[in-house]
Amino acid sequence: MSKPEQPKEHSRFLQFQSVPYGTKDADGNLILNRFSSTITNGRDFPAAQAMLFAAGVKDDAQMRSAPHVGVSSVWWEGNPWYLGKTVKEGLEKNGMIGWQFNTIGVRMRFSLQSRDIIADSIETWDANISIPGCDKNMPGCVMAMARHNRPSLMVYGGSIKPGYSERLGMPINVASCFEGHGAVMYGKWSAEDLDEVVKKACPGPGSCGGMYTANTMATAIEAMGLTLPGSSTTLADSAAKRRECLRAAEAIKVCLEKDIKPRDLITKASLENALVSTIVMGGSTNAVLHFLAIAHSADIDLTLEDFQRVSDKTPMLADLKPSGKYVVADLAEIGGFPSILKFLIHVGLINGDIPTVTGKTLRENVANAPVLDPQQDMIRPLSNPIKETGHIRILRGNLAPGGAVAKITGKEGRRFTGKAWVFDREEDLIAKLQNRDIDPEESVVLCVRYEGPVGGPGMPEMLKSSGALLGAGLRNVALITDGRYSGGHITPEAQVGGPIAILQDGDMVTIDAETNEINMDITDAEISERLSKWKAPKLKINRGTLGKYARLVGDASHGAVTDMF
C-alpha cells in the first residue's frame, strides 16, 4: 500500500530549515519565517496552531507566511519604562507577528548574575527585538543574540532626565543619593537635604543619567551597530523613543530579508568600536566585564590586554558624570550619539565601515546627523581632551596577578600609596564611615573583599561605598575590591585564594597608573607564608540561583561567565 502524498505545505516547511533568511520560495515569496514555519506550516502541530489563533493570529495566510518576532522586554514594575507594546505595534504594521514576553530586571545583590538569567531566558523566534533598560540587562540581551544568532536588534529603554534640588540649588541624579549618604555621615548635608534628593533625583522613567554602566553599554552597543541610530541618547519618556520602537520593525524586517544575523555584526572590529566608545565617553569599568562576556558568547578572542591597548591610544573626550559635569539628557541637545559617532568616524577613532542592523554601514547611518557645534563643551576636541589616554587601566602586580581593572581619570593623580584598611564585607566599611573613623588627611587604601563572583556571590556593586566616599569628601582614599564599583575590581578574588585574601590592616598598597601596577609592600616569601595559613571561608549562599551561580561562575578577568566549559 503506497503512502499518501504529503501535503505541499508540509514539504515546504521542511525545506525552510536549510535555507538562509531572504530566500524566495517556489512562488517567488521571501521566506522570512524560517524557524516558526516548523510549527505554523503543515499539519504536524495542530494544537499549537490552535493556540496561536487563540492568541491573536488572524488567518491562515498570516499563520503560514508571517515571521514571528519575539519582543523580549527586560521588565518588572520597578523599571518604569515599558515599550514592548509599541514595538509590537510596529511589527504588525510591517506584516509580522510580535510575541511579547519578559525576562527579569536587574537586582543589585543579584546584579551580575541577573545578566546570565536574562541571556538564558531570551529565546529568539524567527527574529528578536530586545528592550533592556539597565546595566546588566543590555549585555544579557546581546549575549543571547550571539548565542542564538538569529536576526536581532536592541532598543535601549532610554536614559532618565536629571532631577533638581531646590534646597541645594543644583541638578541631581540617582548617584546624588549615594553621595548624599556620605555627605550626611560627615556633616556636609542635613538629613532633610538627603530626603529631598531621594524624592527628586529620579523625576521619571529611564536609566541612570550619567555615563554609568547603562549608558556606557548603550552607547558602545550603538557603536557596534546593534541598535538604530540614536537609540542610546534618546530619552526614555520622549516621543522620539516611541518612534524608534515603531522603526525597529522596519529594521528587523531588513535583517530578515538580507539574512543579517548577530554574529555578522558582533565581530572583533565592532567590539573594537565598543572599547573606543567606552574610553571616549568616560564609561564604566563594568564594560570590561560585559564585553569580555559578549565576546565569549560570540566565540571572539578578546582579552584584558585589548582594553589596555585601546586605552593607550584613545583619548577621553566626554565631560559626563560621574567624573564630569553633564548627563546624557544634555547630549541629546547637541545631536545625540549619532553626532558623536559622526565626529569619531571623521577623526578616525571609530570604524564607520562595519555593517549594522539597518542594512547600512555605521557611517551611512550617521551621515545626516548634525555636526557637533564647536562651541559645545560636552565632547572635547582632540586638541583639548579631558585625558590624552584612556581612563580605564589594566593593572597587575602581587595584589592582582590575574589583572585588576582601574578607572583613573587623572583628577585623582597617577600614583597613590596608602595604608590598607581591610573589610570582609561592604557593611563593615559603611560602619567605619558612619563612625567617621577615616581621617581625611591620612592616605588610606580601603579594601573590601569576599565580594567577588564566587564570594559575593555575584560580584555585587560597591555603589554605596564609593558614593559615600565621594559625598563625604574623602579625597585621599583609594578603594579596591574583588566585587565591583565604578573604579574597578581585582582578580583573583579572595574566596578562591587570590592574594587580596591575605592583605592585612597596615600593609602599604601602591597603585601606579604609569606602570600599570598594583602591589602590596610585602615580600613574595611573606605572601606564600600567609597563603599557606589561609583557609577559604564557607560560601555565604549554597542554595538557589545564587548558589548555582557561585559553583559555575568563572573569574572576572574572563568576563565572569558561567559557561567556560
Q: Give me the active site residues, please.
A: 486
Q: Please name the residue that has the C-alpha cell 550617521.
A: 366
Q: Which helix (H) or strand (E) holds 479?
A: strand 477-481
Alpha-carbon distances, residue 106 vs 110, 116, 234, 236 (angstroms): 7, 11, 21, 17
- The per-residue DSSP string of 412-478 comes to T-SEEEEEEEEESSHHHHHHHHHTT-S-TTS-EEEEE-S-STTTTTS--B-HHHHHHHHHHT--SEE
Q: How far apart are the first and last CA of the chain?
A: 51
Per-residue buried b or exposed e for 272-303, using 16+ beta carbons within 10 Å of the residue's own CB? bbbbbbbbbbbbbbbbbbbbbbbbbbbebebe
Output helix, strand, coil percentages for the chain, rounded to the nearest 5.
40, 15, 45
What three-state secondary structure class fits 295? helix
CA 441 to chain centre: 36
Bridge partners (DSSP) listed for residue 539 = none
CA 36 to chain centre: 30
- The per-residue DSSP string of 74-114 comes to E--TTS----HHHHHHHHHHTT-EEEEEEEPPP-STTHHHH
